[in-house]
Amino acid sequence: MSEFVIFNYEHPHVVNLDVREQVRDIFFESSSKKDFKNQEEKDSFLWKYLDFYLTHYSEFAWVALSKKKVLGYIIGMPLSSDPKLYEIQPHMKKFENLFSEYGAHLHINCHADARGMGVGSKLVTHFMRKLKDHHIPGVHIITGPESRNKEFYRKLGFDFECEREGMCFMGKKT
Ligand SMILES: CC(C)(COP(=O)(O)OP(=O)(O)OC[C@H]1O[C@@H](n2cnc3c(N)ncnc32)[C@H](O)[C@@H]1OP(=O)(O)O)[C@@H](O)C(=O)NCCC(=O)NCCS
């Protein structure tokens, strides 16, 4: 389980394995939102925080694979001031003035069996390296002000924090 390789979501090996189902399972299992009024609401949630990125920004989507098992994934985009994103995640606009420094953002989730083993750190480091290659100056995540996962990001060097309207923005320069 501890040995894994990071592949881009569009890598032929990943496409061949067809990992969509596994990634979706990790997404829903990791999410704090568990109740959906109907299928439409569930689909829209999936689009907003997963499929949007896989569809429009697969260049910035990676999975950590141990043989055929997905241990975790990271998705994101290099510049968050995208009107397509604002349509589905209007809260992003509230942090727009910080995008000149921390313009990229990411979402990461690991399989429940694979947490605390370094998979998440390696995925973030990989993502950061790619941003640097693209000359993107910084990245952010948005989480809850009291969320436990803030510690994970702090340990990875997300040293800028800003709270607005019940959300915590954490940034790191590449
Ligand atoms: C948060 C998450 C992506 C971290 O990935 P991971 O592979 O478990 O983390 P790592 O093993 O690389 O941990 C790196 C360090 O962060 C710490 N850490 C990881 N997750 C943590 C958490 N939720 N709370 C506090 N510390 C955490 C680890 O203890 C470790 O510390 P160490 O270097 O001192 O040993 C993963 O645990 C996960 O998917 N959690 C559930 C969903 C989630 O919270 N997603 C993020 C949404 S913003």
Measured by CA distance, the residue closest to atom 18 of ligand 1 is: 152
| Gap from CA of 99 to ligand 1 centroid (Å) | 25
Entry pTM: 0.97
Measured by CA distance, the residue closest to atom 45 of ligand 1 is: 109
Residue 57 is predicted with a pLDDT of 97
Rounded to the nearest 10 degrees, the angle between the axes of helix 39-46 and helix 20-30 is 100
Q: Of all atoms in ligand 1, which is nearest to the CA of residue 122?
A: 12
CA distance 51 to 48: 7
Q: How many CA atoms lie within 13 A of 110 on its CB side?
A: 22
For 122, the domain range is 5-173
CATH number for the domain spanning 63: value is: 3.40.630.30
* Model confidence pLDDT, tens digit, residues 71-113: 999 999 999 999 999 999 999 999 999 999 999 999 999 999 9
Q: Is the pLDDT of residue 1 over 60?
A: no
* Model confidence pLDDT, tens digit, residues 18-63: 999 999 999 999 999 999 999 999 999 999 999 999 999 999 999 9
Domain count along the chain: 1
Query: Cβ(2) to ligand 1 under 6 A?
Result: no
Radius of gyration in angstroms for the set of CA atoms belonging to the chain, rounded to a whole number = 15
